[in-house]
Amino acid sequence: MCAIVSGANRRGVPEISVALHRQLSDRVALDIDVVSSSGAATTAARQAAARADVVVAVGGDGTVADVATGIFGSTAALAIVPTGSTNITARSLGIPRHPESAIALLAGAHTRRLIDIGRSEDRSFLHIAGAGFDAELFQRADPRWKRLLGWIAYLPAAAAALQVAPSHVHVTADDAHIALHSPLILVANGGAAITPEFQIYPGIAVDDGWLDVLVFTSTTVAEIASTLGYAGRRQLARSPHVLHHRARRVRIEASPDLAVQLDGDPRGSTPREFHLVPAALQVITPD
């Protein structure tokens, strides 16, 4: 087992390293690799997948996506010890939110669940990719406040991101073509936001063989308020300002270009293509 530990994790490297050794070192051959960047995490995970049966991502959603990118195409399974600001990927899979409990899961009874992987260019995403508002939000969030406050740190960034004007977008979802003005397009593999209980749209599953594409058309203050109201009541499927398609391949073009995020990390801008690889990753989860 090899643990890829983000140096920016909220629990601190010494504390996490001690917990990993205390619970695992007498059960498995354990390596720990501390990384300081996204690229380093992906490289370390790729190298670990050549020698380890399980590669553990210790960090937030971005670190999990980095490690999933590194082990993509290998036989290694992914394990997650959540120490980030939201940890929505781990929590949606039922992995304990406290790091010590997540490590105990690796040492005790668990199962290996097969899930789908979203891909964009050479990157994997396990939960949600997006173009527009959400990418601006993640780009503007202060990393220091994220470590201190968790998801609350995104509120000031959200207020600033709402000022970004919508773009004229062209979305291709398999054979469907959508052209309109939009501030936000989501390409979802998983369906939760902030907490696992808050499902953004019904029927989204990480193992159903589909990407769910949500195109938001709200551009005025009244339309945005209406859409937020539906979302708050978990009734986004009833909103007249949200278009939904399922697809295995998606392309987003925009004028002007929209920022893009993958599992909460800013990753360039449109034009961008996304595709699904079904049942492509084993993840260590509770029985």
Does the pLDDT at position 194 exceed 80? no
Q: How confident is the model at residue 228 (pLDDT cuts 50, 70, 90)?
A: confident
With pLDDT > 90 as the criterion, what percentage of the chain qualifies? 72
- How many of the other CB atoms lie within 10 Å of CB of 261? 24
Rg value, the chain, Cα: 19
State how far the Cα of 252 lies from the Cα of 247, in Å rounded to an integer: 13
Lookup: tokens for 265 = 């990390």
Does the pLDDT at position 158 exceed 70? no
Amino acid at 275: H
Lookup: tokens for 5 = 């530990």
State how far the Cα of 201 lies from the Cα of 193, in Å rounded to an integer: 10
Collapsing DSSP to helix, strand or coil, 196 comes out as strand
pTM, 2 dp: 0.89
Q: How confident is the model at residue 233 (pLDDT cuts 50, 70, 90)?
A: confident
Convert the pLDDT of each residue in 175-190 to its tens digit: 999 999 999 999 999 9
Convert the pLDDT of each residue in 15-43 to its tens digit: 999 999 999 988 899 999 999 999 999 99
Instruction: Write down the residue that tokens 């995970």 correspond to.
Output: 45
Torsion angles phi and psi, residue 86, rounded to 5: -125, -40
Does the pLDDT at position 221 exceed 60? yes
Q: Mean pLDDT for the chain?
A: 90
With pLDDT > 70 as the criterion, what percentage of the chain qualifies? 91
Does the pLDDT at position 6 exceed 80? yes
Between the CA of residue 118 and those of 30, 190, 220, 248, 276, what are the distances in Å? 29, 10, 31, 9, 5
Higher pLDDT, 146 or 282: 282
Torsion angles phi and psi, residue 161, rounded to 5: -65, -30
Structural domains of the chain, ranges and CATH numbers in brackets: 2-108 (3.40.50.10330), 128-276 (2.60.200.40)
